[in-house]
Amino acid sequence: MAAQSDDWPPELEMHGAADADLGSGSGSGSDSPDLLLARFLGHLANERQVSPHTHGNYRRDLGRISRWRLEQGILAWSDLRDEAIRRYIATRHRNGIGGRTLARELSALRTFFDFLLRERLVAHNPARGLRAPKSPRRLPGSLDADTLSALLDTDTAVAAGATANGGAAGQGDADPGGASPGEASIDTDPLALRDTAMVELFYSSGLRLAELISIDARDIDPADAMLTLVGKGAKTRRVPVGRLALRAIATWLRVRSLLAAPDEPALFVSSRGRRIHPRTVQVRLKQWAQQRGAGRHLHPHLLRHSFATHLLESSGDLRAVQELLGHADIATTQVYTHLDFQHLAQVYDQAHPRARKRR
C-alpha cells in the first residue's frame, strides 16, 4: 500500500473533496473554478485511483496555474487560451524552472482540460499541442560491478559506524536518522539483515523504490526465483530474483517475525512492525553504505541504474532491459541506461565489417 502524502489531508486523498485553495476563484455553482478543479481531483482519486504522489503533483501544478490565471484577469477556465499558456510557460522558464517541470505542468493542464471536455464544460483544450522548452537530460550515476559486489559481500559492520549518525539506543529505524548502538553485527541484527536484503533485491531486480515497499512476502516465488510486482500505471510484471538476493531474503524472513505485526503482509517492515516507509528505506540505504565505507551516497535509483547499466553492458539486449525495468517506451530505456565509450568502441570494433582489425 502506498504511503500517504504528508501534505494532502486523508479525507481529500480518499474522496477528492473540494479544497478552498485549489482554484482560488470566487464564483459559485458547478462551473466555479475551484469546484471544477476539486471535481477533477476527485476524479483522479476515485475513478483513476492515482497514487497520492501523483495526486499531489496535479493539485500543486494546477493550483499554481490557476493562481497565475486569476492574476492575469482570466476568471474562467473556459477563457484560458493557448497564447496565455505560452506566456505562463515563458515566464516560468525565465525564472529558472526547468523543462521537465514545465512539461509535467503542461501534461497536468492537458489532462485537466480533457476531463472538462468529457464533462462538456469547455469547448476546446488550449494546452493540446503545446510543448515545454527542452532541458538537458541528466543521466544518473552508477556503481561499477566490482565496487557494488564488494559492498554486498561485506559480512560485518563496525559498531562505531552504525552509530556515527547519532542514532539513539532502542529506536531501531523508527528514527530514520540513525541506527541503535546494538547494530554492530550485520549477520545477527534483524534490521541490518533486512537492509542487506533490500539492497540485494534493488540491485538484483532493478526495482523502483515504490515497487520495493509495495512487495508482500507472498509475492516472491523462491522455487521459480521470480517476483510479481505492480509498477507504474498499476501494471503487473514478473522479474527474476538472483540467487544471492534470494539467500539474503530467506535470511531476513527467518527473523522477520521478530519485528512484523502478525497481520502485516509486507515483505519489508519497519521496527514498528508495519510496512516500511519510503523515507526510511532511503536513509537506511545511506547508512548501510556508510557502514561499509562506500564513499558515496547510496540510494534506490542508483541501484536501479547500476542494475540496468551492468545488464546492458553484459548483454547488449535493450529490449530485455526495457521489460525488466518496466518501461512502457524503449526510448525511456535508451535515455535511462548508458554504455561507456570504451565498451561501445569495443562492440564497434568487433561487430562492424569495416572496423574489424585485420588478423
Domain count, the chain: 2
Domain containing residue 246: CATH number: 1.10.443.10
Q: How confident is the model at residue 230, as a pLDDT?
A: 83
**CA–CA separation, 200 vs 246, rounded Å?**
8
Cα distance between residue 238 and residue 251, in whole Å: 22
In a domain, 4, yes or no: no
Q: Which of 118, 136, 163 is the last residue of a domain?
A: 118
314 falls within a domain: yes
- On whether both 204 and 315 belong to a single domain, the answer is yes
Residue pair 207/304 in contact by the 8 Å Cβ criterion: yes
Q: Are residues 205 and 267 in the same domain?
A: yes
| Pair 43, 158 in one domain | no
Residues 163 and 139: beta-carbon distance below 8 Å: no
Residue 354: inside a domain: no
Q: Is residue 131 part of a domain?
A: no
Q: The C-alpha cell of 329 is what?
A: 517506451
Residue 120 has pLDDT above 60, yes or no: yes
Predicted local distance difference test score (pLDDT) of residue 118: 94
In a domain, 3, yes or no: no
Residues 187 and 282 in one domain: yes
pLDDT: which is higher, 257 or 164: 257
**Statement to judge: residues 161 and 109 lie in one domain:** no
User: Residues 160, 104: one domain?
Assistant: no
pLDDT in tens, 149-201: 888 887 433 333 333 343 333 446 644 433 333 334 555 789 999 999 999 99
Among 37-46, 83-92, 243-252, 336-345, which stretch is predicted with the lowest mean pLDDT? 336-345
Task: For residues 80 and 163, state if they share a domain.
Answer: no
The pLDDT of residue 270 is 95
Q: At what angle do helices 99-118 and 52-71 cross, to 10 degrees?
A: 90
Same domain, 156 and 215: yes
| Cα–Cα dist 198/289, whole Å | 12
DSSP calls for 137-204: PPPP----HHHHHHHHT-----HHHHTTT-PPTT-TTSSTT---TTTT-TTT-HHHHHHHHHHHHHHH
Report whether 178 contacts 167 (CB < 8 A).
Answer: yes
Cα–Cα dist 268/11, whole Å: 27
Across the chain, what does the average pLDDT equal? 77
275 pLDDT above the threshold of 90: yes
pLDDT band at residue 356 using 50, 70 and 90 as cut-offs = low
Q: For 205-237, write each residue's pLDDT tens digit.
A: 889 899 999 999 999 999 889 999 887 777 888
| CA-based radius of gyration for the chain | 24
Residues 287 and 328 in one domain: yes
Residue 333 lies in a domain: yes
Question: Could you read off the pLDDT of 48-57 as tens digits, one per residue?
Answer: 888 888 899 9
Distance CA 112, CA 242 (A): 43
Distance CA 163, CA 179 (A): 6
Owning domain of residue 242: 145-344
Residue (of 165, 151, 260, 137) closest to 202 by Cα position: 151
Distance CA 18, CA 85 (A): 25
> 36 in a domain, yes or no?
yes
How far is the C-alpha of 51 from the C-alpha of 36, rounded, in Å?
20
Whether the predicted pLDDT of 34 surpasses 50: yes
CATH number at residue 18: 1.10.150
Alpha helix (H) residue ranges in the chain: 10-15, 33-43, 52-71, 82-94, 99-118, 145-152, 159-162, 190-205, 209-214, 243-256, 278-291, 300-315, 318-325, 330-336, 341-351
Q: What is the pLDDT of residue 293?
A: 83
The per-residue pLDDT for 163 is 32
Least confident of 79-83, 114-118, 136-140, 239-243: 136-140
pLDDT tops 70 at residue 139: no
Of 118, 133, 163, at which residue does a domain stop?
118
52 and 155 part of one domain: no
Residues 110 and 149 in one domain: no
Least confident of 42-46, 145-149, 175-179: 175-179
Mark which of 103, 118, 133 sits at the end of a domain.
118
Catalytic residues: 208, 232, 301, 304, 327, 336
β-partners of residue 216 are 266
In terms of domains, do 72 and 199 share one?
no
Q: For Cα atoms 26, 32, 38, give the angle at the middle one, nearest 5 degrees.
A: 105
- Does residue 25 sit within a domain? yes
